[in-house]
């Protein structure tokens, strides 16, 4: 089965939807998304979108904060343009009807504060910013006749010129370019070919590669893994951001406690009530995320406790309930009244700062293949993303991609689409070995948490590399011998991402930003002030 559109957008978070809405002015858009359209990381984002809107703020200050956080690895051109173009993109969201929180009794937006920001600049919708944005974008997309959604479809692999050439479907191999993707319709196990003259990966991150994560179940690194298999350049995968404060609770697995809680005065304390962040950084609880996460890790290792606590009880109950209704309500359901008691928290994998390397128009090295949002590495985040810069990046890059994507479309419209063969299931039969998949899934996540976490060492990374390589062999055997299932596709992708994180971490023999290794505890600008690049390919 084949489905053709001008633009094929894979993923339905802020990046995919923002791009799709603008692309629909030029042609048809198919949005392929893994679960329901709102099952995205965007929808869970609490804190907000960093942007220069305050009277006391400036583009230069935001740029400086981003560069300091990125610890020497930011691409300055990307930082400059994302920060400068941010305010216009926020105004577009307001025009679309996103209900951001406004100042009491005023017209202006209420601006929050988060770690590493020298000014209040976080535009937010209480503590449910992503949900407000996703809702508005989805409503607009639903009304757009050029946009069609394909929910419950997971991509398996990209369709590239080289792949078609190898299968005899085209006769030339003039350049490496992308024509679409094969995707499994999870509802009926049928594999379909989605063709697009322009293909945009907006699949989010890979937090599920770690045992503890703030990410939703969809975050299995599908975009990075499929892009990498197709020959796209991958950069900086060692820089995995651990959010310092996820709720520690046996019943919920990924509930984030927004950094905005610390922005409004919340303090981290240990089980004995000691506020410890002043021992680690002069910015205390609002230090950069890598510093806060490592401080908590150190405290937990030292004390043997299972969690630390975040205390905002000094603020009035009225303020807490109004500013953080989501966090207050969820914690209350779980038996913690945050207006009266501190909440138990631990760090958890939160954001992939690396990804498919793109230019400042979201183009990858494969022609007609773009990457937007967490799946991409534009160079904005460097070695450590500044809080709330990610939704901003997605908005700005989606806008910047439109112009070259529209030009690509015009060029390709003049050419015939290739005759793409149906998916070849090989000699596959139904697998009843689901236990192999679930076992390997659990093993990867435990291995990554224990050996490739907040504090690393060469010996632990080497052990992880061995284990992941064994698992990889088993999965490849499975992949080629059995019919593909969503679980198998995700497991294969997770393993690829795990391999990329480990290899990148092993190759960076220094400590910088989010990558901290006991064997090389210092920064080495002379050798490592550069991106970590990996590229494999079918060639
Ligand atoms: C948060 O609300 O703490 C998350 C914001 C972010 O990761 O940028």
> What parts of the chain have a pLDDT lower than 50?
538-539
The pick from 69, 215, 388 for probing ligand 1's pocket by mutation, whose C-beta has the most ligand atoms within 8 angstroms, reads 388
Give residue ranges with CB within 6 A of ligand 1: 46-47, 258-260, 351, 387-388, 390
CA distances, 84 to each of 93, 106, 204, 285, 370 (Å): 16, 25, 24, 28, 22
What's the pLDDT at 222? 98
* Active-site position among 89, 197, 229, 289: 289
Domain boundaries, the chain: 2-238+353-413, 243-348, 434-534
What's the pLDDT at 388? 97
What's the 471 CA to ligand 1 centre distance in angstroms? 32
The pick from 48, 324, 345 for probing ligand 1's pocket by mutation, whose C-beta has the most ligand atoms within 8 angstroms, reads 48
> Would you say 366 and 231 are in contact if contact means Cβ atoms under 8 Å apart?
yes
What's the 389 CA to ligand 1 centre distance in angstroms? 9
> Would you say 244 and 302 are in contact if contact means Cβ atoms under 8 Å apart?
no
Q: Atom of ligand 1 at shortest distance to CA of 241? A: 7
What's the 263 CA to ligand 1 centre distance in angstroms? 11
Q: Does the active-site annotation cover 289?
A: yes
**Cα gap 113→115, rounded to integer Å:** 7
pTM: 0.96
**Cα gap 390→337, rounded to integer Å:** 30
pLDDT digits (tens, 9 = 90+) for 93-141: 999 999 999 998 778 999 999 999 999 999 999 999 999 999 999 999 9
CA 305 to chain centre: 29
CATH architecture of 434-534: Up-down Bundle (1.20)
The pick from 133, 243, 266 for probing ligand 1's pocket by mutation, whose C-beta has the most ligand atoms within 8 angstroms, reads 243
Sequence-distant (6+) residues with CB within 8 A of 432 are none
Longest dimension (CA), the chain: 71
What's the 473 CA to ligand 1 centre distance in angstroms? 36
Q: Atom of ligand 1 at shortest distance to CA of 391? A: 8
Sequence-distant (6+) residues with CB within 8 A of 266 are 285, 310, 311, 312
Instruction: Label residue 165 left, alpha or beta by phi (over 0 means left) and psi (-120 to 50 means alpha).
Output: alpha
The topology (CATH level 3) of 243-348 is Flavocytochrome C3; Chain A, domain 1 (3.90.700)
pLDDT digits (tens, 9 = 90+) for 167-214: 888 888 877 899 999 999 999 999 999 999 999 999 999 999 999 999
Strands 267-269 and 240-247, by their bridges, are: unpaired
Please report which helix (H) or strand (E) contains residue 377, including its range: strand 376-377
What's the 307 CA to ligand 1 centre distance in angstroms? 20
The topology (CATH level 3) of 2-238+353-413 is FAD/NAD(P)-binding domain (3.50.50)
Helices 390-413/76-96 angle, 10° precision: 90
Q: Atom of ligand 1 at shortest distance to CA of 389? A: 8
């Amino acid at each position: 089965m084949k489905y053709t559109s001008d633009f094929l957008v894979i993923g339905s978070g802020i990046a995919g939807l923002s791009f799709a809405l603008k692309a629909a002015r030029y042609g048809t858009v198919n949005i392929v998304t893994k679960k329901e359209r709102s099952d995205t990381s965007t929808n869970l984002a609490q804190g907000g979108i960093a942007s220069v809107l305050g009277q006391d703020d400036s583009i230069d200050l935001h740029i400086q904060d981003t560069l300091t956080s990125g610890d020497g690895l930011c691409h300055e051109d990307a930082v400059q343009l994302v920060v400068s173009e941010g305010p216009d993109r926020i105004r577009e969201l307001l025009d679309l009807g996103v209900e951001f929180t406004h100042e009491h009794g005023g017209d202006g937006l209420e601006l929050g504060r988060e770690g590493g920001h020298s000014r209040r600049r976080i535009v937010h919708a209480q503590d449910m910013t992503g949900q407000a944005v996703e809702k508005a974008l989805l409503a607009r997309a639903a009304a757009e006749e050029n946009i069609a959604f394909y929910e419950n479809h997971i991509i398996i692999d990209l369709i590239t010129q080289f792949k078609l050439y190898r299968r005899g479907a085209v006769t030339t191999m003039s350049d490496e370019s992308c024509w679409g993707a094969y995707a499994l319709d999870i509802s009926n196990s049928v594999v379909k070919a989605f063709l697009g003259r322009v293909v945009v990966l907006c699949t989010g991150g890979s937090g599920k590669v770690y045992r503890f994560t703030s990410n939703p179940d969809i975050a299995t690194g599908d975009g990075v893994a499929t892009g990498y298999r197709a020959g796209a350049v991958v950069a900086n995968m060692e820089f995995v951001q651990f959010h310092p404060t996820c709720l520690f609770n046996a019943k919920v697995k990924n509930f984030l406690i927004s950094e905005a809680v610390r922005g409004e005065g919340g303090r981290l304390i240990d089980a004995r009530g000691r506020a410890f962040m002043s021992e680690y950084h002069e910015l205390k609880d609002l230090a950069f995320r890598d510093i806060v996460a490592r401080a908590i890790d150190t405290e937990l290792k030292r004390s043997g406790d299972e969690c630390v606590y975040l205390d905002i009880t000094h603020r009035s109950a009225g303020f807490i309930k109004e500013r953080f209704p989501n966090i207050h309500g969820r914690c209350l359901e779980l038996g913690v009244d945050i207006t009266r008691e501190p909440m138990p928290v631990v760090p958890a994998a939160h954001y992939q700062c690396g990804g498919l390397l793109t230019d400042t128009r979201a183009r990858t090295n494969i022609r007609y293949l773009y990457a937007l949002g967490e799946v991409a590495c534009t160079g904005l985040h460097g070695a450590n993303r500044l809080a709330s810069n990610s939704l901003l990046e997605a908005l700005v890059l989606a806008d910047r991609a439109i112009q070259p994507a529209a030009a690509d479309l015009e060029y390709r419209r003049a050419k015939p689409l290739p005759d793409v063969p149906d998916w070849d299931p090989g000699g596959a039969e139904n697998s009843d070995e689901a236990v192999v998949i679930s076992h390997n899934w659990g093993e990867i996540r435990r291995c990554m948490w224990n050996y490739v976490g907040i504090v690393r060492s060469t010996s632990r990374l080497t052990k992880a590399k061995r284990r992941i390589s064994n698992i990889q062999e088993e999965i490849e055997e499975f992949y080629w011998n059995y019919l593909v299932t969503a679980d198998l596709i995700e497991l294969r992708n997770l393993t690829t991402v795990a391999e990329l994180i480990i290899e990148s971490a092993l190759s960076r023999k220094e400590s910088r930003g989010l990558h901290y290794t006991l064997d090389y505890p210092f920064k080495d600008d002379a050798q490592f002030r550069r991106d970590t690049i990996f590229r494999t390919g079918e060639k």
